[in-house]
Amino acid sequence: MAQLSRTWWGRRFMEALERFTDPGRLSRGRSYAGPHRILQHALANGVVTATVRGNINPYFGVYEEPRYTTTIALAQIKAKDWAKVVGAIGSRADLITSLLMNEMPDAIEEGFSAHEIHLLPHDRRDFRTTCSCPDYGDPCKHVAGLCYLVAAELDHDPFLLFELRGLSRERLRQELTGSSLGGILADSLATPETPLTPSASYFAIPVREPLGAIPEHRRFWQGAKRLPPLAAPPGPHIPAMLIKRQGDFPPFWRRGNSFIEVMEEFYERVRTKNAQIKS
């Protein structure tokens, strides 16, 4: 059921809930995760409080649509433990850089596990849930729906995990930038704002440039210096494969000298004569 979340931390959040929640309530809770059921929700002091629409059920004497108050909270991390965790995170450039760039690092749990603390929930003890509905199950389908909604919001804003654990994002950033390594990384990541300058036109305005002296037409076309004469390319090399395949004394050759030698002399005369004509 955790496939509703796209990020690994959102899936981990729901996987912890699925370990101890009735599958039927989880299945019904998925249909309660949309805005048509959860009318409003807010996070304050680490607690998510929502107003959830219930169902009309004449069998149980419910003739008007009820409104239930549902809350979700995670076990708070103590201030002294947060100091240890922030100190561990502040010693690693990879974790600080990702957090300062508003990204959730893949190895974020390494900063918590060294002190036997977890950022992401692991079991039933990490969840504190309540609902005003008459369902005896805890968590009920309304709580499950609100959890799915929180997991979806974690996909977009992973720093909600820190707030659910008792540390606001402003306090987290203040603690990270207050360390020596975090201060250096924060300065390197800070990009100065470029002031905007209004323009009088959407298009580039042409600028007049002096034309200068106009050269003579001969100088314009021929240039200031004469180009060196072009060297005549060497004559093509003719392999004369067809002639050489006939051999020195082909059947049609009636003379006593070599046919190939005669043809080589002929080609040489043609080549030299053409070179004299070109020159």
* Cα 211 from Cα 151, distance rounded (Å): 68
With a pLDDT cut of 70, the percent of the chain lying above it is 91
- For residue range 91-118, what is the model confidence (pLDDT) as tens digits? 888 888 888 887 888 888 888 888 888 8
pLDDT for residue 46 is more than 70: yes
Q: Order of strands across the sheet with 67-74?
A: 38-44, 47-53, 67-74, 127-131
Which one is predicted more confidently, 227 or 208? 208
For the entire predicted model, the pTM comes to 0.61
Average pLDDT over residues 2-9: 68
pLDDT for residue 224 is more than 60: yes
Q: Which residues contact 158 (CB under 8 A, 6 or more apart)?
A: 7, 9, 103, 104
Q: Under DSSP, is residue 256 helix (H, G, I), strand (E, B) or coil?
A: coil
* Cα 41 from Cα 166, distance rounded (Å): 18
- For residue range 256-275, what is the model confidence (pLDDT) as tens digits? 788 888 888 887 787 777 65
**Dihedral (C-alpha) 239, 241, 244, 246: value to the nearest 10 degrees?**
-160
Q: Which residues contact 189 (CB under 8 A, 6 or more apart)?
A: 97, 100, 101
- For residue range 132-178, what is the model confidence (pLDDT) as tens digits? 988 887 889 999 999 999 988 988 888 899 999 998 888 888 888 88
- The full set of domain ranges for the chain reads 2-189
52 in Cβ contact with 145 (< 8 Å): yes
- For residue range 178-214, what is the model confidence (pLDDT) as tens digits? 877 777 777 776 666 778 888 888 888 888 888 777 7
pLDDT for residue 3 is more than 50: no
* Cα 273 from Cα 241, distance rounded (Å): 23
**Dihedral (C-alpha) 56, 47, 128, 134: value to the nearest 10 degrees?**
-20
